[in-house]
Amino acid sequence: MARITAGIATSHVPAIGAAIDLGKTQDEYWKPVFDGYEWVKEWQKGEDVDVVILCYNDHASSLMLDVVPTFALGMAEEFSPADEGWGPRPVPMVMGDPIFAAHLAEQLVLDEFDLTLLNDMDVDHGLTVPLSLVFGQIGEWPVRVIPLAVNVTQFPTPSAERCWQLGEAIRHAVESYPADLNVQVWGTGGMSHQLQGPRAGLINPEFDNAFLDDLANDPQRLRNITRLEFLREAGSEGIELIMWLIMRAAMGEKVEELQRFYRVPASNTAVGHAVYRPLEIAGLQAAAE
C-alpha cells in the first residue's frame, strides 16, 4: 500500500524564490537562509519519493476572490508556474498524479471533506518556492506533486482543528491506496509575519519557536489555537501555519524530528523549516538497519 514516510514544513517567502532565480543565494543577506536548507537537500536525495502532497495557499494567482474554496485539490496532469505580475518563475513544470489525486478526492469526500477539485490551475510561489528549497535548481522536479490549496486569504478561514482533521483524513486516504507509493506531505507558509497595516513587519520569535516545539512534541495544544490568536500573536499572515498542522496530523501521533531551522529575518518574515519522520517508519528503518 501507499505510505507516508516523512513530512516537511517550510516557509514559502516569495523573495526567497527571487533570490534563487537571480543568483543571490550566496549574498551576505541570503546565505544564512539557504544554508539552513542544505541538510534537507542532501537528505532528500536518499528518500526515493514518488509523490508529494503539498499544502500551500494560492496568493490570488489562480484563485481570485470571486471563487474562494476552503480546500482545493489539484487533479491535473501538470501545473504551470504562475505569472504573479513579473512573469512565471524559471522553474520546471510541476507534474501531477491524476489517478492518485482522484483516489484522495474520493476518500476525503467520503470522510466528510467537501473538496473543490481543480482540473486546471497554475501554481504560484507558495508551491514552487518550497520545491526549489528542497530540490534546488534542476531541469525537472524528481517527484509528482498533488497541490492542496488552503484558503488563508479570505475570511472565513478553516480552523486549526479542521486542518488537523484533514491531515488525519489524508493519512487514512493514503494508506487505503493499493499501489506501492512513497508519499511525503508538506506544509508551507508562515511563520509569523504581517504585510500591511500598523503592525506591518511584525515577527514573533517566541510564538514561532513555541509552535515548532509543540509541532514536534505536543501538537494537541496547537489544535486549539484560534484564528484570533494567530492574528494577535503571529500577524495577519501567520494563519498560514494551519497548513503545517495538516502535514503534522498526516504523520500520526508521534514523530521523530530530523531537522529544524529558524531564521529572522528573510525579507519581512521569519523563516521556519522542519522535517519529521512518522515514528512507526523510523522504527521500521531502525529494525532494518
108 grid coordinates: 476525503
Each residue's pLDDT tens digit in the chain (289 positions)?
A: 899 999 999 999 999 999 999 999 999 999 999 999 999 999 999 999 999 999 999 998 999 888 899 999 999 999 999 999 989 999 999 999 999 999 999 999 999 999 999 999 999 999 999 999 999 999 999 999 999 999 999 999 999 999 999 999 999 999 999 999 999 999 999 999 999 999 999 999 999 999 999 999 999 999 999 999 999 999 999 999 999 999 999 999 999 999 999 999 899 899 999 999 999 876 666 666 6
pLDDT, residue 283, reads 65
Q: Which amino acid is at 184?
A: Q
Closest CA to 241 of 267, 283, 197, 207: 207
Owner of C-alpha cell 519581512: 268
Cα 46 to chain center, whole Å? 20
pLDDT, residue 284, reads 64
How many other C-beta atoms can be found within 10 angstroms of the C-beta atom of residue 161? 16
DSSP string, 176-240: T--S--EEEEEEE--SS---SSTTTT---HHHHHHHHHHHHH-TTTGGG--HHHHHHHH-TTGGG
> Which entry of 12, 103, 193, 273 is annotated as an active-site residue?
193
Question: In CATH, what class is 3-288?
Answer: alpha beta
Asked if 154 and 162 touch (Cβ cutoff 8 Å), the reply is no
Helix (H/G/I), strand (E/B), else coil: 270: strand
Residues 6+ away with beta carbon under 8 Å from 210: none
> Which entry of 12, 59, 103, 125 is annotated as an active-site residue?
125
**Residue 273 among the catalytic residues:** no
DSSP string, 122-152: -B-HHHHHHHHHHH-S-SS-SSEEEEEEE--
Closest CA to 134 of 49, 211, 216, 215: 49
Domain segments of the chain: what residues? Answer: 3-288
**Residue 125 among the catalytic residues:** yes
138 grid coordinates: 534542476
